[in-house]
Structures are given as structure tokens and as C-alpha cells.
Amino acid sequence: MANELITLAGGIHYLPGGVNSVILEDGSGGALLIDTGLDADAGKKLLKALEKKNLTPRAIMNTHSHADHYGGNAVIEAKFPELKVFAPPLEEAVLRYPILEPMGLYGARPPQELQNKFLMARASNARLAPEPGLCKIAGVTLELLEVAGHAALMYAVRVGSFLYATDALFGPEVLLKHPMSFCMDSRLQKESAAKLAELEGIELVLCGHGDPLSDLRSLVEKNLECLESTTRAVKNACQTPASIDIITQQVCNALGLELKNATGLLLNRSAVSAHLVELLERGEVSMGMRDNLLEFRWV
């Protein structure tokens, strides 16, 4: 039902939505919130769900700084001003200065069209999260796992046999809908996914988008296949020397994507750029200038 938490294990719940929010109980009526959704509406739904469970938010842990994962923070912070917000290094800076995300994608002060809730949430009073490993936040013991790649730095969360993979992995339905997964570093995204497959004792995994699943290794394989498919499409687009924009167009055509706005274009161009860097570092493409264009081509 809407606005109701779904229990995954003792003291572990989630609120499904466009972005999943994970709720970890502290055993004393309090809760640590892991990601809060896209916007104020998501934050309000989360607060209502907590109220139904008689849980009070004690802290927020944002796995990374993409707006759809911290957009609900501001509403919750306004109601609970003493609440602390944590995020990984670099990511916490974007939470405090949200303009950094669309600015980074656009490369300059972004036009108003790009200052939207999908790229830029309301500022959050974030601080640095603990370093990866076992830790305690707001009375909750959890393990933070570094899974950089999708974002500059990102933490997955493990509690016992439960893994919140956040956007280090995407569910099968999401991969079908979005065959080019967004990433800042495709090599690291692949390494992070593969590292999660090595975890022992995981019985339930929840991605940032999608339903809970029990087969972690199969999920990792599907994500790696998707990432490698994009790498191949990017390399194929470099057979004839081309600029990033032309390569992006060719890759989107090859993957059956139709970009309808500037936000979608910049997100996919950023992902293409990440795969180009991976191919450059593997020595499979080269980069050079021709007629005032930065071009990439096969080596």
C-alpha cells in the first residue's frame, strides 16, 4: 500500500518508489534513513510511513549525491532540525551545493532548463559519512561498502544478510528500460558490481530502483552485460572519427534510445564520455583534434 513500509527482515524496511528508501531501526523507536527519494513529495511519503510504524528519524545516510536520492532530505530536515545527514566524500559537497551536479554535466553555469529536480534537489546540511567498513550511525550498526562508478564516490549498505546496493546495480526491469546505465566511471562501475558479487551470505538485495531480489550473482551478471554492451556500442561509434556528440547520437540509436530533452542528452553524453575514457585507458581508441573538433577514433 502507498505510504507503508515493507518489512524485509527484523528491523529492516523499505519504502518503494521511483527511488527506494531503506529504513533501519535502532531498537528504541528511532530509525536511520538510507536515501529519501526524488523530491518533497517523496520526503512527505516517507515521513507518513515512519509515523505509521511509530518510528522517528534519527539520521539520514545518502548513498550518493544524485538528486533523486536526496530530494526528500529538506522536508525531513525541516521537521527534525537536529537530525544529522551523512554522505560519502565529494558527494556531501554536492548535497550542500546542489548546483554542482547540473554545472558538472553542462560544463558551465547551467541554463534554467537544467536546474530541475532531476538534477538539482534542495540543499541539505550534509556532513562526511564514516569511512567504509563496520560503523554505527544513529544507534544502528551497518557496513558501508565503497562502490564508486555510478557516482564519483558511492556507498552500498550491508546489514547482516541484506544488501542495499543503491545504484551500483540496477534491477532487470530498469536495465530493459534504460539500456545505457548512467555512470561517471564505467571501469569503476564494473569493478564495483563485480566486487558485490563476491560478498558471501547475502540473501536479499535491494537496488536503488526496482524490487528486492535474492540472486545477487545473477543480478551482477545482468548489470555487467549491460555495461559491456554500452562499451561495445561506444567503441563501434568510434570506427569513423567522431566527436562526443556524434558518438552519443550513434550509441543512443544503436541502443534504441530516444532523447527528448536536454537533461536526458547530458546524462547519456556523460555516460558515453565515461566509456570513452575507459576505452582510452585500454588503448582501444585515441583522442585528437581535427578542424576545431575533439574526436575519438579506433587505434
Instruction: Tell me, yes or no, whether 144 and 255 share the same domain.
Output: no
**Contact criterion met (CB below 8 Å) for 217 and 196:** no
Provide the CATH number for the domain around residue 281.
1.10.10
CA distances (Å), origin 252, targets 100, 242, 247, 293:
26, 14, 8, 21
Asked if residue 254 and residue 149 are part of one domain, the reply reads no
Query: Is pLDDT of 2 > 80?
Result: no
| 191-250 confidence digits (pLDDT tens) | 999 999 999 999 999 999 999 999 999 999 999 999 999 999 999 999 999 999 999 999
Range of the domain at 34: 6-168
Shared domain check, 94 and 11: yes
Least Cα distance to 210 among 221, 218, 200, 219 occurs for: 219
pLDDT per residue as tens digits for the range 50-71: 999 999 999 999 999 999 999 9
Q: Is residue 225 part of a domain?
A: no
pTM, to two decimals: 0.97
Using DSSP bridges, classify how beta strands 162-166 and 155-159 pair: parallel, antiparallel or unpaired.
Answer: antiparallel
Sign of the alpha-carbon torsion through 229, 231, 232, 237: positive
Report how far residue 81's alpha carbon sits from residue 278's, in angstroms, rounded to the nearest whole number: 43
Q: What is the mean pLDDT of residues 37-56?
A: 97
Per-residue pLDDT averaged across 157-184, rounded? 96
Q: Which pLDDT tens digit goes with each residue over 106-139?
A: 999 999 999 999 999 999 999 999 999 999 999 9
Please name the amino acid found at residue 119: L
Q: Rounded to the nearest 5 degrees, what angle is found at the Cα of 113, between the Cα atoms of 43 and 79?
A: 20
Residue 172 confidence (pLDDT) = 95
Q: Is the pLDDT of residue 77 over 80?
A: yes
Question: Residue 80 belongs to a domain with what CATH number?
Answer: 3.60.15.10
Instruction: Give yes or no: residues 126 and 273 share one domain.
Output: no
Contact 100, 75 (CB under 8 A): no
**Average pLDDT of every residue of the chain:** 97
Confidence of residue 25 (pLDDT cuts 50, 70, 90): very high
Question: 14 near 21, Cβ under 8 Å?
Answer: yes
- Assess contact for 233 and 239: CB atoms under 8 A: no
Asked whether residue 145 falls in the same domain as residue 277, the answer is: no
> In terms of C-beta density within 10 A (0-12 exposed, 13-18 middle, 19 or more buried), how is residue 212 classed?
middle
Helix, strand and coil in the chain, % to nearest 5: 35, 25, 40
Same domain (yes/no): 134, 35: yes
Q: Residue 215 has what pLDDT?
A: 97
In the listed set 120, 152, 168, which residue is the last one of a domain according to the structure?
168
* 144 pLDDT above the threshold of 60: yes
Give per-residue pLDDT as tens, 207-223.
999 999 999 999 999 99
108 shares a domain with 246: no
C-alpha cell at 270: 556523460
pLDDT at 143 over 90: yes
Select from 168, 200, 216 the last residue of a domain.
168
The residue out of 125, 140, 168 marking a domain boundary is 168
Answer whether residue 200 is part of any domain: no
C-alpha cell at 76: 525531513
Q: Is the pLDDT of residue 97 over 80?
A: yes
**Residue 192, domain member (yes or no):** no
Indicate if the pLDDT at residue 1 is higher than 80.
no
Number of separate domains in the chain: 2
R_g over Cα of the chain = 19
Residue 115 near residue 85 (C-beta atoms within 8 A): no
The verdict on 107 and 14 lying in the same domain is yes
Calculate what percentage of the chain has a pLDDT beyond 70: 99
Confidence band (pLDDT; 50, 70, 90) for 3? confident
Shared domain for 18 and 143, answered yes or no, is: yes
